[in-house]
Copies of this chain bind each other. A is one copy, B any other.
Amino acid sequence: MSRSNVARLLVSCRDREGIIATLSEALRDVGANIITSDQFSSDPYGGSFSLRMEFYVPDDAEERLTKLEARLNEIASVLHLDHHLIDARRRKRVALFVSRYDHCLLDLLWRWRSGQLDMDVVAVVSNHPDLQEEVARFGVPYHHIPITPETKAEAEQAELDLLSGEVELIVMARYMQVLSEDFLSRIGCPVINIHHSFLPAFAGAGPYQRAHSRGVKLIGATAHYATQDLDEGPIIEQDVIRVTHRESAAELERIGADVERLVLARAVGWHLQDRILLQGHRTIVF
Which A residues contact B (CB, under 8 angstroms)?
1, 15-18, 20-21, 24-25, 27-28, 31-41, 43-45, 56, 102-103, 106, 110, 114, 116, 137, 198-202, 213-218, 220, 234-240, 242, 244-246, 254, 258, 262, 279, 281-285
8 Å CB contact of A215 from B201, B213, B246, B282: B282
Copies in the complex: 4
8 Å CB contact of A36 from B39, B202, B258: B39
Task: Point out the residues of chain B lying under 8 angstroms from A33, CB to CB.
Answer: 15-18, 44-45
- Bound-state CA distance A236–B116 (Å) is 28
Q: Are A198 and B214 in contact (CB under 8 A)?
A: no
The verdict on A1 contacting B44 (CB below 8 Å), with A20-B20, A25-B21, A110-B106 known, is yes
- Bound-state CA distance A219–B244 (Å) is 20
List 6 contacting pairs A-B, 8 Å CB cutoff, sorted by A.
A16-B33, A20-B37, A116-B254, A216-B235, A218-B238, A242-B242
Say how far A262's CB is from chain B's closest CB, in angstroms: 6
Task: Point out the residues of chain B lying under 8 angstroms from A56, CB to CB.
Answer: 44-45
Task: Point out the residues of chain B lying under 8 angstroms from A21, CB to CB.
Answer: 21, 24-25, 27-28
Q: Are A234 and B262 in contact (CB under 8 A)?
A: no
| A254, closest chain B residue (CB) | B116
Name 12 extra pairs, CB < 8 A, besides A34-B39, A36-B39, A218-B220: A17-B32, A17-B33, A18-B24, A21-B28, A24-B24, A40-B246, A103-B114, A106-B110, A214-B281, A215-B234, A215-B235, A245-B279
8 Å CB contact of A17 from B28, B106, B258, B262: B28
Q: Are A245 and B283 in contact (CB under 8 A)?
A: yes
Q: Are B37 and A37 in contact (CB under 8 A)?
A: yes
Task: Point out the residues of chain B lying under 8 angstroms from A45, CB to CB.
Answer: 1, 33, 56
Task: Point out the residues of chain B lying under 8 angstroms from A31, CB to CB.
Answer: 17
